[in-house]
Amino acid sequence: MTTLSIFDAHNPEAAPAITHDPGEIAAQLNSKGVRFERWPTQNLPADAAPVEILEAYSAEIAKLKAESGFQTADVISLNPDNPQKEAFRKKFLDEHTHSEDEVRFFVRGQGIFYLHLGDQVFAVQCQKNDLISVPEGTRHWFDMGPEPEFTCIRLFTNPEGWVAEFTGDNIAGQLPRYEALEGEAV
């Protein structure tokens, strides 16, 4: 279930406000300039190839490209049996920004985007059919958990793909990780 947990950035151990209502999640995030929406399910096999996934969502991808100037779309997938899963997880766990919007559509599985917006941190556990677009310059990080299980479509304006500027802020280490939120709030 998609979940939004809102933490006080100055008091991260305080209990967060939590909602599971997709409409409320979209309204909260949209009010902060973060695009969040649910796309209809496409009938794809569990082992669908990236080209099949991109074809199944071609209309939605074309719409986003036209609206926001994205140049490329690809598919990233990670499973618990990946021998580099710990390194991949660590790569995204520190707070960073990008010079372009970070767009992810969850084809399967889940992961948590943490958005550091002013005095709050919005932890969005995205699930299958969730689209999130984190605006350029937004301080954030991503936690896929210790046993990652997801497939996402990514869109980029920069042909180099994912390029991060790390902030050096240690807030990501002060908030509950995937395991705590997945077990308690979701």
Task: Output the pTM of the full model.
Answer: 0.93
SS3 6: strand
Binding-site positions for Fe(2+) read 96, 98, 102, 140
Residue numbering of the annotated binding site: 96, 98, 102, 140
Q: Shortest CA distance to 5 belongs to which of 130, 144, 182?
A: 182
Task: For the domain covering 3-184, report its CATH number.
Answer: 2.60.120.10
Q: Can you say whether the dihedral through the CA atoms of 166, 170, 171, 175 is positive or negative?
A: positive
Please work out, in degrees rounded to the nearest 5, the angle formed at the alpha carbon of residue 186 by the alpha carbons of 85 and 135: 70
pLDDT score for 161? 62
* Residue 9: predicted pLDDT: 95
Cite the annotated binding site for Ni(2+) by residue number. 96, 98, 102, 140
| Dihedral Cα 66, 124, 56, 136, nearest 10 deg | 30
Model confidence at 119, pLDDT cuts 50, 70, 90, reads very high
- Taking the C-alpha atoms of residue 58 and residue 35, their distance in angstroms, rounded to an integer, is 19
User: Which of the residue ranges 69-73, 140-144, 182-186 would you say has the lowest mean pLDDT?
Assistant: 182-186
Residue pLDDT, tens place only, 138-170: 999 999 999 999 999 999 987 666 678 999 999
pLDDT for 184 equals 52
Average pLDDT over residues 34-41: 94
